[in-house]
Amino acid sequence: MQQGWTFPWVSALLLGVMGLHVSGSEFQHHRYEDLVRALFAVQSECPYITRIYSIGRSVEGRHLYVLEFSDNPGIHEAMEPEFKYVGNMHGNEVLGRELLIKLSQFLCEEYRAGNQRIMRLIHDTRIHILPSMNPDGYEVAAKQGPETNGYLVGRGNARQFDLNRNFPDLNALVYYYEKTNGRNHHLPLPDNWEQQVEPETLAVIKWMQNYNFILSANLHGGAVVANYPFDKSRDPRIRGRTTYAATADDKLFRKLARTYSYAHSWMHKGWNCGDFFDEGITNGASWYSLSKGMQDFNYLYSNCFEITLELSCDKFPPASALPREWMGNREALVSYLEQVHHGIKGMVYDENNNPLGNAEISVAGANHDVTTGVDGDYFRLLLPGTYTVTASAPGYVPYSSTVTVGPAEAIQLHFYLKTAPKQNLKAKPHNGKKNHSSPKAPLKLGPR
């Protein structure tokens, strides 16, 4: 692991000083076959640091291809975080799709050119890029093209489902648990959930189950703002009013959103598309309440922190606008990716130095725990500060440690848990009371 992650503003300066240029294929809109060719062209140019895999198929049978960047493609290396970008969730919001194709070309080209920043990023991170989550909707929108594309044409998948309102609603469950002291992470999915979601949504959820993603962003269009959780209001009865719905990591999410906004050429200015967002960021529910969205699901179901990036006023900008959009987003895409290397990370072992998967990592004052992956490694994004961190696992004695997090790369903090002594149940005094478990909870259309 290489050290010394640079701050976004220093990184931007370095890109300028090094004279990095826009290269690769000419800017154009990519239909499905063009997208596949572009991804495989990158893989062919950088075979030792890339891998292409499919997470599933759309309703009409198109592959949902992911391009992976890593110094060991196809392998999770312990202590190396997993990151993902998802584009084109709404089929007619196409800029994210094109930016992620261009980012893939950029990463390959700059790695081959010896760009130390990009080389370090690929060596220290496993990066997954899904340019199009909704290839069927895109084809519907692309048939109309930039000139006549309607606001809703191609937004949904082939069955006309809005994929960003198609994930299991875990917000209702966590809001209930907040009142009953229940779980704050990795919430259970409802019964028969697989039959309740679309094929594209199912593919993404299975993807999240197979990879321990730590940080993510999904790219949209129709506004210019970095949107962070929660998207769903805690009080759905309030109509016509916006209510801020903060997560337990609200300050951290605001920092992640600002990282993108200020590294973007104009998002941070606030005034875009006839709207104003202070610093170019917004809490989702404060903008408008949205149920069953992907970013909230990431936070409540997995270890992944995700934000939603609205990147253009025009959902389907003409090809002539793509070079400017790429230059406006290039540094932001790289700077946001680098945020996965902040906070703390480490391993959790038992007393025989065996890694413990699914151990829980809790931070005092932050009511949102994370878990170790199958290899026993964990990653907890945190702002600079001093924290008391506790590792725990069933059958082991919890252990706490205090750590100070700085503004640079993640601090390593390992845990070694001892097996809990077997309790002598006969020796326990009986108070005549039953041990009750906590009760179980019953299981505005906009750019997002």
CA 249 to chain centre: 14
* DSSP one-letter code for 439: P
Q: Quick count: other Cβ atoms within 10 Å of Cβ 234?
A: 17
Q: How open is the CA angle 209-215-218, to the nearest 5 degrees?
A: 90
For residue 334, what is the enclosing H or E element? helix 322-338
C-beta atoms surrounding 330 within 10 Å:
21
* Planar angle of CA 245, 246, 248, nearest 5 degrees: 145
User: Is 310 a residue of the active site?
Assistant: yes
The CA R_g of the chain, rounded to the nearest whole Å, is: 22
Return d(Cα 336, Cα 333) in angstroms, integer: 5
Give the SS3 label for residue 261: helix
User: How far apart are alpha carbons 140 and 152 in whole angstroms?
Assistant: 10
Strand intervals (E) in 165-261: 213-220, 223-228
- CA distance linking residue 408 with residue 338, whole number of Å: 10
Q: Are 329 and 27 in contact (CB under 8 A)?
A: no
Longest dimension (CA), the chain: 79
The dihedral formed by the CA atoms of 249, 81, 62 and 224, expressed in degrees to the nearest 10: 40
Contacts of 363 (CB under 8 A, 6+ apart): 369, 380, 382, 387, 388, 389, 390
Q: Are the C-beta atoms of residues 377 and 417 closer than 8 Å to each other? A: no
Q: Residue 342 and residue 335: Cα distance in Å, rounded?
A: 12
Residues contacting residue 294 through CB under 8 Å, at least 6 positions apart: 86, 89, 163, 164, 167, 204, 218, 306, 308
Of the residues 82, 310, 331, 360, which is catalytic? Answer: 310
Q: Is the dihedral of CA 248, 252, 255, 256 positive or negative?
A: negative
DSSP-derived secondary structure letter, 360: E
State the catalytic residues: 310
